[in-house]
């Protein structure tokens, strides 16, 4: 396997499965489709955050950083 970054990044330099993935990720339509699929999973927690973070922290009597960690976990996963 070559070690030159220019050669490694080219899909033809990879084995079959990684080549397929690299080919899909270099296709702008595949990137658009992945973006459209991923945005709803990220936008829901952000919307919920703006509505419920402060009332949630007030009701539980915890500091805002503790609430922020709770809402960051689903986004990171």
Q: What are the pLDDT digits (tens) for 31-57?
A: 888 888 888 877 776 777 778 888 988
Model confidence band, residue 66 (pLDDT cutoffs 50, 70, 90): confident
On the 0-12 / 13-18 / 19+ scale of CB atoms within 10 A, 22 is middle
Q: Are 76 and 68 in contact (CB under 8 A)?
A: no
Q: What is the pLDDT of residue 10?
A: 57
- How far apart CA 58 and CA 49 sit, in angstroms, is 14
pLDDT digits (tens, 9 = 90+) for 2-20: 555 555 555 555 566 666 6
Instruction: Give residues with Cβ within 8 angstroms of 72, minimum separation 6.
Output: none
Higher per-residue pLDDT: 63 or 48 = 63
């Amino acid at each position: 396997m070559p070690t030159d970054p220019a050669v490694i990044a080219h899909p033809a330099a990879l084995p079959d499965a990684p080549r397929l993935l690299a080919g899909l990720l270099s296709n702008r339509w595949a990137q658009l489709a992945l973006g459209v699929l991923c945005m709803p999973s990220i936008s829901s927690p952000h919307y919920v955050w703006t509505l419920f973070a402060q009332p949630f922290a007030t009701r539980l009597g915890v500091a805002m950083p503790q609430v922020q960690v709770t809402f960051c976990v689903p986004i990171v996963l």
